Amino acid sequence: MSIYEKYEAVIGLEVHAQLSTNTKIFCGCSNKFGSQPNSNVCPVCLGMPGVLPVLNKQVVEYAIRMGLATNCSITTKSIFARKNYFYPDLPKGYQISQYEEPICQYGYADIELGNGSSKRIGVTRIHMEEDAGKSIHDAGNETLVDVNRCGTPLLEIVSEPDMRSAEEASKYLISIWQTVKYLGICDGNMEEGSLRCDANVSVRLKGETKLGTKAELKNMNSFRNVERAIEYEIKRQIDLIEEGGAVIQQTLLWNADKNIAAPMRSKEEAHDYRYFPDPDLVPVIVNKEWIASVEKHLPELPVIRRKRFIEAFKLPPYDAEVLTQEKELADYFESSLNGLSKKNEENYKFVSNWVMTDVLRVVNDEKLSITDFPVSPAHLSGMVNAIADGTISGKIAKDVFAEMLKTKEHPQTIIERKGLVQISDTGTIEKEIDSILSKFPNEISRYRGGEAKLMGFFVGETMKVMKGKGNPKVINELLVKKLKS
Ligand code: ADP
Ligand code: ZN
Ligand code: MG
């Protein structure tokens, strides 16, 4: 048994989601990303003396949405608290957050593991808070401060230490990412920092029930980096313990270029936040009616939609997972199904194949959003209908699809304009087959002598002279009949 197998990892994640509200959490400043530095500011978000914060109702609504989506109970009277610390990008000298009475608590998210089973990850709490500004350190010898981000609304989603591997942590993070995007409360962009994840990692001997000392990893800006940082840290801690050392509680910054996590300077870590209830803000009261109305308007969430795709459309779990990754993609797929003709209406898997291969390939290669995809769901199903009713072959469909991408035309228009209608007329096909067969007497006798795979050759030759337009099923049937000695 390798030393690594003696241990088990314990991981808990703290995820920050920047909410996509129009305005900031306690003032009317714009919450737009990428504005001119220090332009979206006012006395409230700069913390001038004598000003008063006013809570943005939309933030509470978004928090309730997330709480319900992660099966939390919603706190009817929650409190804002001041978290005090000094930093140049925090002009007020404190961050308004929630401490003792967060808006959501005691929830969970289910993740699906590879073997078809699922695992429940506890969501300890979700609280509302404001973001700090941004210090920009890479401007030569100077540090620049952009305070536009001060007062940007955040949800902090804290998990229980329930994950046991980097893979589980990554699956949980993906599920949070999908959920905020389905709910329309955060754009989920990890590179731009709209979704940030701190990972708490400890290890212990298998069978041990006490938690080990944890280290906190920060600064991972992609799913991949979160996974790599956690793997790195698990190994580091086990190696350390095996060498007789002990893990110390500290914050480590992930360096994606070097593939290592390095400790933050310890000074930056000495925290005593002196939390206390913010005297400028009244408690947030959420009544049952409000919760009920938010619940009524929740979209179908990814886990549920995945199940429905499997059951209603008999899709393999893999297809369901790929298709529900993004709400817009799942919508695209379902709209395409709506356009299927009556006798073709159960061709779910066929449509799924087209979306997963041809559509997604272009979306990924061209970095398109599915909502801007040149082939509309109606056009995609029009093309699938044309294949199903024998108007075009699957092979010609690839050409039609390529043309739809270029011209955005209806498939029928393209099929007519380019004369792509499949030829199924037996008389026409028979004539072509006869002339082909007359050219290959040797192949015919080899075929009759038992080389069955030559059938593919005859089909291919017939297709070639028919410029791909022959109906492959009819060609096959006729060839079988004619080649039977
Ligand atoms: P802190 O007081 O350092 O913020 P918390 O108890 O609030 O720690 O937990 C922060 C996060 O760390 C949570 O997601 C929690 O699940 C996780 N966590 C706590 N203890 C451990 C541990 N020993 N190992 C791994 N993760 C942990
Ligand atoms: Zn402001
Ligand atoms: Mg904590």
pLDDT for 269: 59
CATH code for 426-484?
A: 1.10.10.410
**Which pLDDT band holds residue 374 (cuts at 50, 70, 90)?**
very high
Average of per-residue pLDDT across 125-134: 97
pLDDT at 217 over 70: yes
pLDDT above 70 as % of the chain? 99
**Which pLDDT band holds residue 264 (cuts at 50, 70, 90)?**
confident
CA-nearest of 130, 207, 186, 199 to 158 is 199
What is the distance, to the nearest Å, from the Cα of residue 201 to the centroid of all Cα atoms in its chain?
23
Q: How far apart are CA 176 and CA 159, in angstroms?
A: 11
Average of per-residue pLDDT across 322-346: 91
Average of per-residue pLDDT across 155-176: 97
| Distance from Cα 77 to the centre of ligand 3, integer Å | 21
214 lines ligand 1 (CB under 6 A): yes
Q: Which of 111-115, 248-252, 290-294 has the highest mean pLDDT?
A: 290-294
**Which pLDDT band holds residue 331 (cuts at 50, 70, 90)?**
very high
**Residue with the larger pLDDT of the pair 328 and 420:** 328
pLDDT for 272: 86
Average of per-residue pLDDT across 315-344: 93
| Distance from Cα 63 to the centre of ligand 3, integer Å | 19
Instruction: Pick the atom of ligand 1 nearest to 202's CA.
Output: 24
Instruction: Pick the atom of ligand 1 nearest to 161's CA.
Output: 16
pLDDT for 113: 86
**Residue with the larger pLDDT of the pair 225 and 140:** 225
Instruction: Pick the atom of ligand 1 nearest to 158's CA.
Output: 14
C-alpha angle with apex 121: 116 to 125, nearest 5 degrees?
Answer: 155
Q: What is the mean pLDDT of the chain?
A: 93
Q: How far apart are CA 483 and CA 485, in angstroms?
A: 6
pLDDT for 472: 86
pLDDT at 172 over 70: yes
| Distance from Cα 279 to the centre of ligand 1, integer Å | 28
158 lines ligand 1 (CB under 6 A): yes
CA-nearest of 151, 120, 141, 137 to 46 is 151
CB within 5 A of ion ligand 2: which residues?
Answer: 27, 29, 42, 44-45
| Distance from Cα 281 to the centre of ligand 3, integer Å | 22
200, 201, 213, 248: residue to mutate for ligand 1 pocket, most atoms within 8 A of CB = 200
Residue 176 near residue 157, CB atoms below 8 Å: yes
Residue 354 near residue 384, CB atoms below 8 Å: yes
pLDDT for 346: 82
Residue 309 near residue 324, CB atoms below 8 Å: yes
**Which pLDDT band holds residue 343 (cuts at 50, 70, 90)?**
confident
Q: How far apart are CA 446 and CA 15, in angstroms?
A: 67
331 lines ligand 1 (CB under 6 A): no
Average of per-residue pLDDT across 432-457: 91
Q: How far apart are CA 472 and CA 375, in angstroms?
A: 26
**Residue with the larger pLDDT of the pair 468 and 174:** 174
* Sequence-separated (6 or more) residues with CB below 8 Å from residue 175: 109, 110, 111, 302, 303
Query: pTM value?
Result: 0.85
Residue 184 near residue 152, CB atoms below 8 Å: no
251 lines ligand 1 (CB under 6 A): no
161 lines ligand 1 (CB under 6 A): yes
202 lines ligand 1 (CB under 6 A): yes
User: Residue 310 is encoded by which pair of tokens?
Assistant: 């499997």
H/E element holding 217? strand 215-220
pLDDT for 485: 60
8 lines ligand 1 (CB under 6 A): no
- Helix, strand, or coil here: 281? coil
56 lines ligand 1 (CB under 6 A): no
The segment(s) of the chain belonging to CATH 1.10.10.410 are 426-484
63 Ramachandran zone, left/alpha/beta (phi>0; psi -120 to 50): alpha
**Which pLDDT band holds residue 268 (cuts at 50, 70, 90)?**
low
